[in-house]
Structure 1
Amino acid sequence: MCSTPWKLLGGLAVLAGSMLALLLVGPIALPKHSATNPSGINATAPHPVPILPEAWPLSLAAGAARVVEGTFRLGDTFGNVLNQAGVPGRLIDQLAHAVKPDFNVQRIRSGRAYKIYFTPDNELVLFRYQRSEQQTVLVAKGASGWRAIEITIPYKIRPRFIQAKVLGSLEGALEATSIGRTGAIRLAHELAGIFAWDIDFSADLRVNDNVNLVVEQRFLEGRFVGFGDVLLAELNIADRVYRAVRYQRLGAATAYFTPVGQSLQRAFLRSPVDFTSISSGFSHRRMHPILNIAKPHYGIDYVAPAGTPVHATATGTIAYVGRTGQAGNHVKIRHGGSYTSHYLHLSRFADEIKVGDSIEQGQVLGYVGRTGLATNNHLHYQLDQSGTFVDPLRINLPAGAPLADELMPDFIRQRDAWISILREGQVDRPLVLAGSGE
């Protein structure tokens, strides 16, 4: 806990005024921001920012003469923290009782930050408790007595250009751009989700591949707190260019499209597991490693550590869950139309999956193993079309749906805002919109 005289703070009034402006004005006037993805793409659902019913808490903060701030430690309580700051016990009891309908002080958790504001006469005027990164509880005395309100502090978003060259992993390339380990991991995972239908980052990356991004930087009260969505991505992977543009319209979830408005989401994921290598590809004639005879190999063998989650490559209905001779633990999914997918040699199944269950794309079905006839831990993945096995890595699956014509002007407005930032930062070449837009 530390106590800071107001004359040493200097900027608290400015900070409080800025915070009040954020709360009353709302999000910034860039293309609408949102937060969580209902469709499997890394994105986010809108967070409504409640308007303060009164401006009194922040007005009181701006006029404080002394501020005590700290973090609740294990064993701390609302009462002892306020008492150590100089608040009388009788007032603490009165305050806790008055705000209980809106804020139960007994549920305060260790690790959460707080600030306590006092008048020049050393009277308590405001208690601030940081419930989470964005959620703040303010306790102050209004016209009808002590009360508590919870507010959401909106992020201030600043776009940032990032350019990386791959020398090993995608995470390593991003980390080398000085965004830090945590930021690199977040952006790598988001890119894997955005391009899940086109790129397998565990297999397709090559040395000297290029990654160009425009991403959200999130700030709270002037402090950088992390990265948000990828706004625009241009990846040159194995001499092929992939592009994605985030599009957010009011009241709808975030989604990603090519620069010409074609959805990146497709019927099937590129691969069902985060693998380390492919030990055997699709073949009509392959020497079996155990039986030592030539047999067809109508699938892809993805090598991965035991226990690695296996995901459904497309939405469908479970047609079989069980053990099938040489296939070991086996899940079969019908996807409607003409496609069926198979997942073999699983160590175990995901909890409670059963025949007839509806399955979403990306849902965990089970875990990598070596049940049945297998020499090592791997997933044998098969895809059949109208009763004939096809090569999952070569089959042309349907493209994503395009944006409706009436949405294109708004999409182009958002797209061009991010492209201008990319062009300003890009050192190799500008983004080209002509062609297929892949």
Structure 2
Amino acid sequence: MPLTKLRMLTDRMTGAERRFSLRTLVTLSSLPLFGVVAAFGLTPDTSTLDTAPETITEAIALPVLTTSRNATFARETVTQSGDTLSSALSRMNIDDLEIQRLLSTDAVHQLSANVGPGKLIQVTTAQDGQLMTIQFQRNNASDLIVRRQGDAFIAEEGDQATEMRVVMRSGRVLSSLYGATDSAGIPDKIADKMAEILSTNVDFRNDLRRGDTFSVVYTVKYRNGEPADAGKLLAAEFVNAGKSHRAVLFSDPSGREDYYTPEGESLKKGFLRSPLEFSRVTSSFSNSRKHPVFGFHRAHTGVDFGAPTGTRVKATGDATVAFAGRKGGYGNLVILRHQSGYETYYAHLSAFAPGIRPGRAIGQGDVIAYVGSTGASTGPHLHYEVRISGKPYNPMTIKLPGSAPLDVAQRARFLQQTASWSEKLAMLRGTNLAALD
């Protein structure tokens, strides 16, 4: 029964009948009202009628409502700045002395410390107003629960009920990518991931077209029945200028996750082109360049990226640390050894990331150091080199290797694991897309 109908019923109740919990009333509303006949329609504008409208009153038979002895009533509030749990309960007229004594015990006080604003407090009372339970949202994972047990109260910490749900959304770009994803109700975390994994094939800064479409399949963590946190992006499709680019998430037997095309081709490049997220090239690769410190001409065997001191330096590919220390004009230097004879150099560093030492395995995108100006340097920047079997190549133009393909066993696992996500993308392709800003 619609909520407006429920309100119509409660308006006709006596005072005793109103003291029903919403749960009881909703249950009753699902039962048929025998002998009830009602008609609903649009009333015409009376100013256009020649005769006054006729008012029709019809008696409606209501079922006899009886009060349940076990009916409980729920109330809730949200904590405000400066609240304690006790003050928030007082605002709800909960001033039971036994509750106040329980809240003052060390164990409960520790659980309810640092209340902070915006926390949900729910209380239930019996029909006679007797307090039954208090549930306080401590954080995003647990609650403080106080229950009546006979004439006393007990307190306990309880985990919030959580579940993961799969969500599917689609949209159409009219002006900007993030305007479109916001309008589609897609969390920024998911939009960021879609842009990241498809950026190897789509230039989201320069190549977006009005009318481009996108679809995403992702998980959302629900806490106590309400959406709480966006989880993982399971699959994505972006149609740019009529060309489809798709990605699905695959987890190998070791638990390592990565994104592939539905056909099993890795979307991860073997190497990133740049070890810095945001930078500018201040000095290019050259066979003969006047050195800014020494003044004579010699080969510049890498590329210099201008960036402030402390900017994070990331490994451009999976590797093992071959060297981390100070080395002549390089200053602080990290050398990473990759597969197939590739090595990358990161020089003039201000500091190394924690744990960076020879022999340590590094993943692509891991932070290994921070931009500085050590060694033969005139200012903060990163000197970056790519070498193959010891010979330097231009990092900006060299054809970089791709990721290793899936083997036969992995491919079979991949197809079985990702079939569902590919099917969901296909389903979304046929849906009506919202027009988005």
Shorter-chain TM range is 0.5 to 0.7
Name 2:271's counterpart in structure 1. 268
Q: Secondary structure at the match of 2:305?
A: strand
TM-score by length of 2: 0.67
Q: Partner of 1:422 in structure 2? A: 429
Q: 2:375 aligns with which of 369, 372, 375?
A: 372
How far off its partner does 1:179 sit? 0.9
Aligned residue number for residue 205 of structure 1: 205
Q: How has the CA–CA distance of structure 1 residues 222 and 9 changed in structure 2, closer, same or farther, with 3 Å as cutoff?
A: farther
Q: Tell me the equivalent position of 2:97.
A: 89
Letter in 1 for 2:132: V
TM-superposed CA distance for 1:108, in Å, is: 5.0
Q: Report the Cα distance in structure 2 between the residues aligned to 1:421 and 1:9, rounded to whole angstroms.
A: 44
SS at match of 2:72: coil
Could you list the per-position Cα deviations for residues 59-117 of structure 1 after superposition, in whole angstroms to 9, with x for gaps in the alignment? xxx9532413121643x4334433443241223434776x959x953445323322222
Equivalent pair of 1:215/1:228 in contact (CA under 8 Å)? no
How many angstroms apart in 2 are the aligned matches of 1:9 and 1:374?
Answer: 78
CA distance in 2, matches of 1:266, 1:180: 31
Q: Quick one: which of 60, 64, 67 aligns to 2:72?
A: 64
Match of 1:153 among 162, 175, 198: 162
Looking at structure 2, the residues matched to 352 and 253 of structure 1 have their Cα atoms a distance apart, in angstroms, of: 21
Whether the 8 Å contact between 2:143 and 2:159 is mirrored in structure 1 is yes
Counterpart contact for 1:157–1:216, Cα < 8 Å: yes
State the partner residue of 2:115.
Answer: 109
Distance in structure 1 (CA, Å) of the matches to 2:202 and 2:297: 29
Q: Percent identity?
A: 25
Are the aligned partners of 1:215 and 1:227 in contact in 2 as well (CA < 8 Å)? no
DSSP 3-state at the match of 1:424: coil
Shift of 1:344: 1.4
Aligned-residue offset at 1:240: 8.1
CA positional deviation for 1:386: 1.7
Please say if 1:216 is aligned against 2:218: yes
CA drift of 1:404 comes to 2.8
For residues 405 and 63 of structure 1, the distance between their equivalents in structure 2, rounded to whole angstroms, comes to 56
SS in 2 for 1:415: helix
Aligned residues: 365
2:177 partner letter: L
SS at match of 1:256: strand
Q: Does 1:300 align with 2:303?
A: yes
Amino acid of the residue matched to residue 256 of structure 1?
A: Y
Question: Could you give the per-residue CA deviations for residues 161-211 of structure 1, whole angstroms, max 9, x where no partner exists?
Answer: 13336x7xxxxx333226179967534542465357x3697xx83143556
1:338 paired with 2:341, answer yes
Correspondence for 1:177: 180
Name 2:323's counterpart in structure 1.
Answer: 320
| Pair 1:261–1:269, CA change in 2 (3 A) | same
- Provide the secondary structure at the position in 2 that maps to 1:305: coil
SS in 2 for 1:190: helix
- After superposition, residues 370-409 of structure 1 pair within 5 angstroms as 370-393=373-396, 394-402=398-406, 403-409=410-416
Q: 1:420 to 1:351 in 2, by over 3 A?
A: same
Cα distance, 1:178–1:426 mapped onto 2, change above 3 Å: closer
CA distance in 1, matches of 2:243, 2:393: 24
- Normalised to the residue count of structure 1, the TM-score between the two structures is 0.67
Once the two structures are TM-superposed, the CA of residue 216 in structure 1 deviates from its matched residue by 3.4
Match of 1:259 in 2: 262
Moved more, 379-388 or 270-279: 270-279
**Computing the radius of gyration over CA atoms, which structure comes out larger, 1 or 2?**
2
Contact 2:219 2:233 in 1 (8 A): no
Deviations 1:204-225 (A, max 9, x none): 8314355624143746566555
Distance 2:160 2:392 in 1: 56
Alignment RMSD, CA only? 4.4
C-alpha contact (below 8 Å) 1:136/1:153 kept by paired residues: no
Alignment gaps of 5+ in structure 1: 1-5, 16-61, 168-172, 429-438
Whole-angstrom distance in 1 between the partners of 2:183 and 2:125: 38
Instruction: Tell me the distance in 2 between the aligned counterparts of 1:286 and 1:233.
Output: 45
